[in-house]
Amino acid sequence: MPETQSNIASLHQPFIAETEAQELSPDSDNEDITPFQKNIWNREMAAIYLIEQGTSIYKDYQRFIIHVSEKPKIEVPVREVEQIIVFGNIQLSTHVINACLQEKIAVLFLSQSGQYHGHLWSEESSNLDRQLMQIERRSDDYFQFSISKAIVLGKLINSKQLLMRFNRKRKLVEVEKAIFGINQDIDSLEYVDNLDSLRGYEGIAAARYFPAFGELITNSAFSFSQRFRQPPTDAVNSLLSFGYTLLFNNVLSFIIAEGLSPYLANFHYG
């Protein structure tokens, strides 16, 4: 399609809006950074990622119009969008906000580095009966512990399997040690009977996992040995935080869509 004042993105044509971005440097003093510096329309996830600072988005008929500086405008049909993720200084028009509320499009507001600030959704998605059941279950100690144990068990199994998959050919000793340790942690969960112990094993397994994960990265430009969240201290930590933020938004959207409250937790709360 020839470049004109507007480009149209459909389900058959995902787009990446190129922007003038500052180079991401591991030595940068700017803590408020993201690993990506482009606005992205992800067709498969039906999501718009507004990352380039100074972007504005407004609505014209049944399309969202994304505008960045002097770049060509990007048009996305409203019906094809399920979520909008906003990073930092992005301007949303009142018509965009109203359309998101009417169409139940989840909007997640983050800092430029991806730290969660808040979200927008329609109250019509809430279900009082389900939330009352959620509150009732929250006081059920057996239910709370069973759900929490399943979460930790799933996390540990996934961590072990990922390390095994990527170490199958390389057979690094440090990674093998981490796999063995996580396997022991998984076996120990059978005898855990309280939430504090569960949290302890989750932390121990994470301390085994992340250094081993770093050992498996072969690109010297992406060295990694320890997980730092706030703020991320290097490119790998930034990418991990970015990925976790996107995962958080997807899970949050599912919780809201089911009419549940995201404020009632079982494992981490208070």
What confidence tier does 31 reach under pLDDT thresholds 50, 70, 90?
A: very low
Fold of 128-257: Four Helix Bundle (Hemerythrin (Met), subunit A) (1.20.120)
The Cα 70–Cα 173 span in angstroms is 53
Domain 6-125 bears CATH identifier 3.100.10.20: yes
Please provide the average confidence, as pLDDT, over all residues in the chain. Answer: 80
13 close to 80: Cβ distance less than 8 angstroms: no
The secondary structure of the chain in percent helix, strand, coil, rounded to multiples of 5, reads 45, 15, 40
The Cα 147–Cα 21 span in angstroms is 43
Question: Can you say whether residue 68 is alpha, beta or left, with left for phi > 0 and alpha for psi between -120 and 50 degrees?
Answer: beta
Domain boundaries of the chain, sorted by first residue? 6-125, 128-257
Q: Average pLDDT in the 241-262 region? A: 82
Q: What is the pLDDT of residue 203?
A: 94
104 close to 121: Cβ distance less than 8 angstroms: yes
- 3-state SS assignment for residue 39: strand
What confidence tier does 24 reach under pLDDT thresholds 50, 70, 90?
A: very low
Q: What is the pLDDT of residue 241?
A: 84
What confidence tier does 181 reach under pLDDT thresholds 50, 70, 90?
A: very high
Residue range 131-170, pLDDT digits in tens? 899 888 888 999 999 999 999 999 999 999 999 999 998 8
Residues 6+ apart with CB under 8 A from 219: none
Give the whole-number percent of the chain exceeding pLDDT 90.
38
Pair of tokens at residue 85 = 């993720």
Q: How many helices (H) and strands (E) does the chain have?
A: 6, 11
Cβ burial 135-165 (10 Å sphere, 16+ → b, else e) = eeeeeeeeebbeebbeebbebbeebbeebee
Task: Determine how many CB atoms are found less than 10 A away from the CB of residue 120.
Answer: 15
Assessment of whether the complete model's pTM goes beyond 0.85:
no
